[in-house]
Structure formats: C-alpha cells, structure tokens
Amino acid sequence: MLEIKVIGLGGIGCALLPPLARYLYYAGTGCRLTLVDGDVFEQRNLPRQAFRAAGNKARVKAEEVAREFPGLSVRAIPEFVTPANVADLIRSGDAVFLGVDNHRTRKVVSDHCERLSDILLISGGNEWTDGNVQVYCRQGGRDLSAPLTRFHPEIASPGDGSPADASCDAAAVAGAPQLLFMNLAVASAMLNAFYAWQQGGVPYGEVYLDIRAGRSQPVQRGGSRE
C-alpha cells in the first residue's frame, strides 16, 4: 500500500490537503494518508488556514478528512519532524508532500530521503508572491533528481530553527508573512508533480513560481552530481 505523508498543515498544507484527499478517494488508489504536524491551530492563522476546530493541526485535519471521505485511510501524527523521529515518519516507498516553513526541517527530511532506496519527496515553499516546488525522486537506490540541498545552500546550511527546537516556555519559530493565493499556487504545483509521477515520471526537478508575473518555470535538476 502506498503511504502518502503530508508534513506541515500550515498555509500550503491546508491548500493541498482537500484536493489531494478528494483525488485519492475518488481515484480508489487504496493508499494511506498520514498527516504530520506538531503545531496547534491559532486564530491568527485564519487568513491562510482553514480549520473547523481548535487543537493539533494534524489531528483536526485527519478528523475533517475522515468525515468527508469515509473509507479513505487517514491518520494523524501530532509531531514535528526531527533527526530523532524522521526515520519512523518517512520510509522507503513513501510519497511525501513537505509544506514546512523552515530550511532546517527541509534539510533533515532531504538528508534522510537520500538514505532510502525509493522515495518521492515534493517540497514547496513561498514568500509573498513567489515561491518554488522541488521534486526529489529516488528509485532503486539511485537519484532520478537532485535532493533539496544540492542547488540550495540555504537548505544545505540552514540558518533558521525548527519549531521542534523551541522550548516549552519559548515562542515558536515564526515564519515570514505569506499570501493565501501564493499558498494555493504552490500547493497546485505540488499536486501537479505528484500526478506526473503517477503517470510515469516528473520531467523536471524544480518549478519557480511568480503569481504577479504569471510565471511558472520548470528547471531540470538531474540526479547526477554536477
């Protein structure tokens, strides 16, 4: 059974999850959908995030999906991704949607995926009106596209922190302000990449997006070291 992991239920994750769940339900793919996030929904998130109840984001979203699509296998893991738990959260053969807002978590996930035999990792991120989607695919222990760190030094050597690093009495790591429309554009590009992978392969390794310029630019990111 294909395991699909959605890591991060913020602006991108909230935009991505409803069409993904609908597609999986009506396509009858027989996969399991796992939602991963250690964060809690707050009222300040309302401009970009839709939750029907307060509480842990993964649990609330899993309950929403289960009610709307009975029969779709869905579960919640209310944790942030860390070096200590990443091997339990992401396993060979998974398809992973990564919608976090910090480079440190991106590096943890990308480094772990490099050690797996088969993996599809689709990572999205954005600023106010521009962003990008990276696609890292391994098959049979071989890179078909580049890991997240190879062409992005800010991910290879992150200068930010992970929300999992915040102590219980410290403020959580705050991301930069984001625009709902840009979250939607990134989520759509991530779903497009997933569909292309299902249909036989993704012919690009990264897509740059700019909604003000109306631009979507795919870029080749070969698996071999360049």
pTM here is: 0.93
Residue 49 confidence (pLDDT): 66
17 has a pLDDT exceeding 50: yes
Cβ atoms of residues 193 and 20 within 8 Å: no
Q: What is the mean pLDDT of residues 171-180?
A: 67
- Cβ atoms within 10 Å of 44's Cβ, excluding its own: 8
Per-residue confidence at 47, pLDDT binned at 50, 70, 90?
A: low
Q: What is the mean pLDDT of residues 83-100?
A: 98
Please state, in angstroms and rounded to a whole number, the distance separating the CA atoms of residues 212 and 194: 25
If we measure between CA atoms, which residue out of 105, 122, 125, 106 comes closest to residue 185? 125
Please state, in angstroms and rounded to a whole number, the distance separating the CA atoms of residues 105 and 124: 12
Please state, in angstroms and rounded to a whole number, the distance separating the CA atoms of residues 98 and 203: 19
Residue 171 confidence (pLDDT): 40
**One-letter amino acid for residue 190 of the chain:** M
Please state, in angstroms and rounded to a whole number, the distance separating the CA atoms of residues 96 and 153: 22
Across 157-192, b (16+ Cβ under 10 Å) vs e yields ebeeebbbeeeeeeebbeeeebbeebbbbbbbbbbe
